[in-house]
Amino acid sequence: MMDPQSPPVPPAVSYRDVSYRYPGEPSLALEGVTLDVRQGERLGILGPNGGGKSTLLKITLGLIPKGGAAGWSGAVTVFGLDPAEACRNGIVGYVPQRTEAELAFPLSVSDVVTMPAAWRLSPFRAPPPDVRERVRGALSLVGMESDGDRPIGGLSGGQLQRVMIARAIAAGARLLALDEPTVGIDARGQHLFAELLADIHRRLGLTILIVSHDLRVIAAGCDRVACLARRLHSHTSPRGLTPAVLAELFSHNLEGVLGDAVHVDAHAASECAAHGHPPISAPHVPGPACEHGR
């Protein structure tokens, strides 16, 4: 699907000259961002905190209105639709940072996965068999099929994230949008997460958009990377992330972005050397995002 010779497929998400200024802020949060997310690809949006990643994600999810004094300018389509309309149709499966849900809720895992798939149903109807089947399928896809009855508050960080992904899949998403997916997940959990995402991508062929400031998650799970610090700085495969690109992106503050992902990537090292930079000898310093899950 990545073959440049194949006939053009309309992009999953298309950004054209997108700019946005938060109300009351002097400078732009996003400036002239133009980018296509191809159907079926895994695109990582990498950038420092405050670089506009979350803003771009909010625009993609239709959470920031277009136009006017407080809106964004430019053009964005999600599978040919206006972002807000795409969300209303359930095309975009948003996987938020895990800390944002109210985990004290007396809900079971399958309750949580069923909710987005079933909230439009008539209040008099129980979820029909096809919804229940989709929920079962999504749970088994993320390896949680036997945990449907567990309370949502009793899961580990990694399990909760699987449930959130299953929830988006059960809702019928064609695009998974993951916001800082590795925050609060330990190193082993991150590895399992990358494997899970690769498996889902292989089996469903979904388009996956990952927003993160953590290079490891991007390097491990994406086909392409867009580096975003207000403007789009570069737009490459994870292997093309040279120290020069990263230094520009993060203003030389590489501690915390570079982890073992770069360390183990021999191609990156050789490519760095080919560009005249010494290979990155990133220490095994856990990034700021690498906290241990519960």
Among 32, 116, 256, 286, binds another protein (CB under 8 A): 116
Of 189, 179, 202, give the one whose Cα is nearest residue 159. Answer: 189
Report the b/e string of 166-190 with b at 16+ CB within 10 A: bbbbbbebbbbbbbbbbbbbbeebb
Burial code of 64-94, b = ≥16 C-beta within 10 A, e = fewer? Answer: bebeeeeebebebbbbebebeebbeebbbbb
144/246 with CB nearer another protein: 144
Q: Is 121 among the residues that bind another protein (CB under 8 A)?
A: yes
Structure tokens at 88: 């209303």
Site string for another protein, 33-62 (x = CB under 8 A): ----------------------------xx
| 227 binds another protein, rule: CB under 8 A | no
The greatest distance separating any two alpha carbons of the chain, rounded to the nearest whole angstrom, comes to 67
Window contacting another protein (CB under 8 A); options: 33-41, 89-97, 261-269, 275-283: 89-97
**Nearer to another protein by C-beta: 108 or 236?**
108
Tokens describing residue 220: 């491990």
- How far is Cα of residue 80 from the mean position of the Cα atoms in its chain? 20
Residue 202 lies near another protein (rule: CB under 8 A): no
User: CB of 59 within 8 A of CB of 75?
Assistant: no
Q: To the nearest whole angstrom, how small is the minimum distance from the Cβ of residue 88 to another protein?
A: 4
Q: Which is nearer to another protein, 32 or 172 (CB)?
A: 172
Candidates 13, 18, 92, 227; binder of another protein (CB under 8 A) is 92
- Residue numbers of the site for another protein (CB under 8 A)? 61-63, 87-90, 92, 94-97, 100-108, 111-112, 115-116, 118-121, 123, 151, 153, 164, 171, 177
